[in-house]
Structure 1
Amino acid sequence: MRTVGNDLVRHQLHENRKWYLLIGIILVVFGIILLASLSVATLTAVVLFGVLMMIGGALHLIAAFKIFDGGYRWFWALFGILYWVAGYYAFTSPIKTAIVLTSLLAIALLIAGFIRIINAFMLKPISGWGWTLFSGLLTLATGAIILASPDSPFWVLGLFLAVDILFQGVNYLTFAAAIKKIPPSSADA
């Protein structure tokens, strides 16, 4: 019985391999295009943020009046309105939104860097603690560089988006290559 399940999985993987290849190629191409134009990628990230915030706002409003009863309903409605306003602001003021989001990202990296450095010294008796220290210093430096760079709002969010899309594409291509090495199922023979 176990062989039948494995054959089915192998058959499905081989059957869908072309889709993994196609998605991987498209994502790699988009990632490269975004890397070549980081300001467009940043604008894309801000617009995506705006869309997601507006959708989140609408869902909170729906939840407030369709799911929740009593006084809590108004908290959900307030969250929905705040989300929607943030999304609208992202559309009407994309440069200011990029500045705010980039600053928040830099602050989060600074805080994470400090926490990792403190954690590294707590782990000092354990072998490999230096890597945690290195990671903390690198994260701290990244946050400081982003915060100190006056033009970072125009490229940082785009860089993060482009690199993420590029690596997702590479992931799909690697997965498709790994599928090719799996022996076909008896159904494929």
Structure 2
Amino acid sequence: MRTVGNDLVRHQLHENRKWYLGLGILLIVFALVLFGSLAFATLSVVFLFGVLMMVGGIAHIIAAFKIFEGGYRWLLVIFGILYCVAGYYAFKTPVQTAVVLTHLLGILLVIAGIIRILSSAIFRVYQGWGWTLFSGILTLATGILILVTPDAPFWVLGMFLAIDILFQGINYLSLASYIKYQLPKSSADV
């Protein structure tokens, strides 16, 4: 019975391979467009942040009255209002929001880099600890670069978005290639 389920999954993957291929190509093209206009991509990230904050705020307020009771309810209402205010300011002042988000990202990368470097000292007795050290140094350097570059708020968030979309596109192309060349259509082909 398990083979029938596997055959069904294989058949569906082969049937949808062209969709994966098309989506991969579309995402790669979209990523290249974003790389060409990093300021636009950064504003897209800021507006997406604003939308997510507003949705989160509304969800908190709804949850406060539909799910929770007592004093905790009002804490959720306060969080919901703060989320909505943050979302509003992301739309009202996108450049300042980009500056704040970029600096927060830089600070978090510096902290993560320091933690990885310290962790590599702990893992020094294990093989491969050097990769943790290398990762920590790169993360720390990236954070510092973001914090000291004056125009970073106008391209960093967009670059991260473009890189993410590029890798998603590559992932879909890889999946389509795997389906075509590596995955048999049924268990009888194995």
Residues 158-185 of structure 1 deviation map (CA, whole Å, 9 limit, x = unaligned):
0000000111011011101111122223
Secondary structure of residue in 2 paired with 1:180: helix
1:42 aligned residue: 42
Give CA-to-partner distance per residue, 1:121-162, whole Å, 9 cap, x none. Answer: 111111211111111111100000000000000000000000
Give the structure 1 partner of residue 105 of structure 2: 105
Aligned amino acid, residue 59 of structure 1: A
**Cα distance between partner residues in 1 of 2:36 and 2:91:** 23
Structure 1 residue runs of 4+, over 2 Å off?
A: none
1:26-175 matched pairs, under 5 angstroms: 26-175=26-175
Amino acid at match of 1:184: K
Identity of aligned residues (%): 68
Give distance in 2, aligned partners of 1:112 and 1:118.
10
Q: Look up the equivalent residue of 1:131 and give its one-letter code.
A: W
Task: Report the more deviating stretch, 19-28 or 106-115.
Answer: 19-28
Structure 2 letter corresponding to 1:63: A
Secondary structure of the residue aligned to 1:48 is helix
Instruction: Encode CA deviations 1:50-86: one digit per residue, 9 max, x unaligned.
Output: 0010000110010011111111100110110000000
State the distance in 1 between where 2:29 and 2:3 align. 38
| Runs of 5+ consecutive residues of structure 2 not aligned to the other structure | none
Q: For residues 186 and 124 of structure 1, what CA distance do their matches in structure 2 show?
A: 46
SS, match of residue 124 in structure 1 = helix
Shift of 1:102: 0.2
Maintained 8 Å contact 2:61/2:76: yes
Partner amino acid, structure 2, of 1:54: M
Q: How many equivalent residue pairs?
A: 187
Q: 1:113, CA displacement in angstroms? A: 0.5
Are the counterparts in 1 of residues 6 and 187 from structure 2 also a CA contact under 8 Å? Answer: no
1:26 corresponds to which letter in structure 2? L
TM-score by length of 1: 0.96
- The answer to whether the Cα contact below 8 Å between 2:27 and 2:168 also exists between their aligned partners in 1 is yes
Gaps of 5+ in 1: none
Residue number in structure 2 paired with 1:183: 184
User: TM-score scaled by structure 2?
Assistant: 0.95
Partner of 1:3: 3
**CA-based RMSD:** 1.2
Question: Residue 38 of structure 1: CA displacement?
Answer: 0.4
Partners of 1:112 and 1:186 in 2: CA distance: 46
